[in-house]
């Protein structure tokens, strides 16, 4: 049964990745184009003025939009779908039929919670950057701190679930859940304050005399890019939750029907 559920998770992840890639190509590509135009213009001005700008790392449009990117998104989606299915299997036995929660409902709840914990919370501290934003010498450290933020968010979310379970008998399920969420928010806020802030948005380019020769990175482009990045992840997680819930609901429903038929026949 677990293998069949994981196979459905892989399928849901693949479908989510394809829809997310289509969304990104249609919505994010124009924003990426604006960021690349800024980068190209700034580089030309810097070279014309003899200014060596250390804050820019060139990214070609092919790297942003070619088939390699689509393949990478597909691999990520498939892996995410498999992990989602494993998580579902672990949770369903505890919070599934015994709590009156259907497979479809649990899948949607799990996808929403995972989206918030794995992506949305780390996004608040370390949002993604478009081309022309970021320094080559800080990519490694930024990636490490982002992964630390993801790990902290996941560990604290698991701790919140444990706390809610411990308090449920004393406070009731609703109050225990609110307490656990409040504890998670409080601790994750402390983690965000403690972790270093990475600010890499290019400011105005100046010549040797300090005169501005090219504007800083447009705030609207940065905002739009981060917004569509959030939308892309939302499409991915929503698709996984809905598709996996539909496929798993049918599978577990068929199994339940077969079990009832066998008991009647006996």
- Mind listing the pLDDT tens digit for each residue in 43-80? 777 667 665 544 444 444 444 455 556 677 888 899 99
74 and 92 housed in the same domain: yes
Residues of the domain holding 146: 136-199
Confirm whether 44 is domain-assigned. Answer: yes
User: HSE-up of 110 (CA within 13 Å, CB side)?
Assistant: 28
Are 226 and 103 within one domain? yes
- pTM of the entire predicted model: 0.80
61 and 36 in contact (C-beta within 8 Å)?
yes
Residue 188 lies in a domain: yes
Whether the Cβ atoms of residue 225 and residue 35 lie closer than 8 Å to each other: yes
Three-class DSSP category at 212: strand
- The reply to whether 262 falls in a domain is yes
Pair 128, 186 in one domain: no
- CB-based contacts of 55: which residues, under 8 Å, 6+ apart? 135, 200, 202
Q: Are residues 128 and 161 in the same domain?
A: no
pLDDT in tens, 115-138: 999 999 999 999 988 876 766 666
In a domain, 243, yes or no: yes
Q: What is the rounded distance in angstroms from the CA atom of residue 46 to the CA atom of residue 53?
A: 7
Place of tokens 């299997």: 89
233 & 182 share domain: no
Query: Across the chain, what does the average pLDDT equal?
Result: 80
Pairing of strands 212-214, 205-206: antiparallel
Question: What would the mean pLDDT of 165-181 be, rounded to a whole number?
Answer: 89
Q: Are residues 34 and 3 in the same domain?
A: yes
Residue with tokens 């598709």: 243
C-beta of residue 167 within 8 angstroms of C-beta of residue 136: no
Give φ, ψ of 30 to 5 degrees: -60, -35
How many domains are contained in the chain? 2
């Amino acid at each position: 049964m677990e293998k069949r559920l994981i196979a459905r998770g892989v399928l849901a992840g693949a479908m989510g990745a394809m829809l997310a890639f289509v969304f990104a190509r249609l919505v994010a590509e124009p924003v990426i184009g604006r960021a690349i135009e800024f980068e190209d213009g700034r580089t030309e001005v810097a070279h014309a003025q003899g200014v060596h700008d250390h804050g820019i790392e060139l990214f070609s449009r092919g790297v942003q939009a070619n088939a390699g990117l689509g393949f990478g998104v597909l691999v990520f989606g498939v892996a995410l779908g498999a992990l989602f299915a494993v998580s579902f299997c672990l949770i369903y036995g505890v919070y599934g039929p015994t709590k009156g929660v259907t497979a479809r409902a649990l899948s949607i709840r799990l996808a929403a919670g995972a989206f918030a914990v794995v992506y949305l919370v780390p996004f608040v501290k370390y949002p993604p950057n478009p081309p022309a934003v970021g320094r080559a010498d800080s990519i490694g450290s930024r990636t490490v701190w982002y992964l630390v933020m993801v790990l902290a968010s996941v560990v604290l979310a698991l701790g919140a679930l444990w706390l809610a379970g411990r308090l449920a008998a004393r406070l009731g399920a609703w109050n225990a859940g609110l307490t656990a969420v409040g504890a998670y928010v409080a601790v994750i806020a402390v983690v965000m304050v403690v972790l270093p802030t990475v600010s890499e948005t290019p400011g105005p380019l100046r010549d040797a005399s300090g005169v501005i020769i090219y504007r800083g990175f447009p705030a609207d482009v940065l905002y739009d890019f981060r917004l569509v990045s959030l939308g892309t992840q939302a499409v991915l997680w929503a698709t996984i939750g809905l598709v996996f819930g539909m496929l798993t609901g049918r599978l577990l429903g068929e199994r339940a029907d077969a079990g009832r038929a066998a008991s009647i026949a006996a």
